[in-house]
Structure 1
């Protein structure tokens, strides 16, 4: 079973390629299921006053969904398209997020923490935000947000759960308790996580999450899906063979897939 549930396209401002180019690429590489999952519009900052190219404008959200739906129908005999959204969790803005999540018939919604306040910890242009910070305290704040995201009931799985490590900033203290607490919260909420292979092309050079976190997730029975987090059509499916190999080494035999906000597990 070849799937890729985490993709982005030109509407978000920092990716390339049209939705149809991703669909055609998915067919070319033999995907059975392709998840289209672009970023939710920014809700907590004024896009005109923030950094450019962060997310799709709010006025583009309806056309994004409509285009996904049209492509799903157009290519239904060649690839199974699932319509998704990467829905940022931003503490204090839960109701605004919920209106978007509940306003469309998504197949799935990814719960991802990118922002701590107005600081996007995943943006290479904002790494100066780490300066003069207590790194362990930032990790505590991040994983607290992940736990709160899981508890909202708005999401189907948690995306790149340890993306906080992306640029290689790691505290001297052991963060295993923070990571395990976050996974325990995911388990309690009945959610899945993703193995996001894109970490292999970031400074940390490790998938999200780490093998240790995946082993703990497997131990407590958390389902997992996979995603390339592709921002260019040619990167669709990138490193997913390595991801599937790692999952099999740990003991996973099934992947989580999603349709109409319901989770299904398939052998791979």
Structure 2
């Protein structure tokens, strides 16, 4: 079974390609299931005054869902489309997030932490945010948010759980205890994780999560799904062969899939 549950398209502003181009590419590379999962619209910052090209406008959200369902019907029998959303977790905005995650018939919602306040720690244009900060304190804030995202039960799985390492900024001291606490929160609230292969094309030079975290997730019995985090159709499925190989090396033999907000396990 070949799946890719994490993709973005032109509506978000910082990806290219139409939804249909991703669907056709998925068929071309032999995916069995393709998850369409663009970014949730910004809710805690003013899109008009924030940095451009961060997420789809709110008025595009219903059009996005409608197009997903049209494509699901059009390509039925050729590829199994799952309709999703990458939903930011922003502390204090849980009610507004829930309004979005319950307003549409999603198959799944990814819970990702991109923002610490108004700072997007995953945006290459905002790496100056690290300047003058205590890196350990930033990691503590980040993993605290991951734990709260898991506890909110707003999401079906946590996306790129250690993406904070993306640009190579690391504290001098170990953060293993922070990582493990976040994993334990995911387990406590019956969540799942993705193995996000896109880390291999970032300065971090490893997937999200790291092998150590993946093995700890295995020991805890946390279900795992797969995503390329493609922002271009030609990157759909990128590094997922490596990701499947890593899962097998770690003794993980099943993948989590999602349908109507319900989790199903399949063999890799």
Do they superpose with TM above 0.5? yes
Q: State the partner residue of 1:240.
A: 240
| Residues 223-248 of structure 1 deviation map (CA, whole Å, 9 limit, x = unaligned) | 00000000000000000000000000
**2:94 aligned with 1:91, yes or no?**
no
Q: State the partner residue of 2:227.
A: 227
* TM-score, normalised with respect to structure 2: 1.00
Offset of residue 10 of structure 1: 0.0
| Residues 206-231 of structure 1 deviation map (CA, whole Å, 9 limit, x = unaligned) | 10000000000000100000000000
Q: State the partner residue of 1:159.
A: 159
What secondary structure does 1:142 align onto? helix
Counterpart-to-counterpart distance in 1, 2:188 and 2:76:
35
| Residues 12-62 of structure 1 deviation map (CA, whole Å, 9 limit, x = unaligned) | 000000000000000000000000000000000000100000000000000
Counterpart-to-counterpart distance in 1, 2:189 and 2:40:
22
Counterpart-to-counterpart distance in 2, 1:97 and 1:141:
20
Counterpart-to-counterpart distance in 1, 2:98 and 2:49:
24
Q: State the partner residue of 1:20.
A: 20
Q: State the partner residue of 1:147.
A: 147
Q: State the partner residue of 2:201.
A: 201
Offset of residue 165 of structure 1: 0.2
Q: State the partner residue of 2:265.
A: 265
Q: State the partner residue of 1:168.
A: 168
Offset of residue 193 of structure 1: 0.1
Count, aligned residues:
268
Provide runs of 4+ in structure 1 moved above 4 Å: none
What secondary structure does 1:96 align onto? helix
* TM-score, normalised with respect to structure 1: 1.00
Offset of residue 4 of structure 1: 0.1
What secondary structure does 2:85 align onto? strand
What secondary structure does 2:188 align onto? helix
The answer for unaligned runs of 5 or more in structure 2 is none
User: For the aligned residues, what is the CA RMSD?
Assistant: 0.3
Offset of residue 185 of structure 1: 0.1
Counterpart-to-counterpart distance in 2, 1:128 and 1:158:
26
Offset of residue 262 of structure 1: 0.2
Offset of residue 88 of structure 1: 0.2
The answer for unaligned runs of 5 or more in structure 1 is none
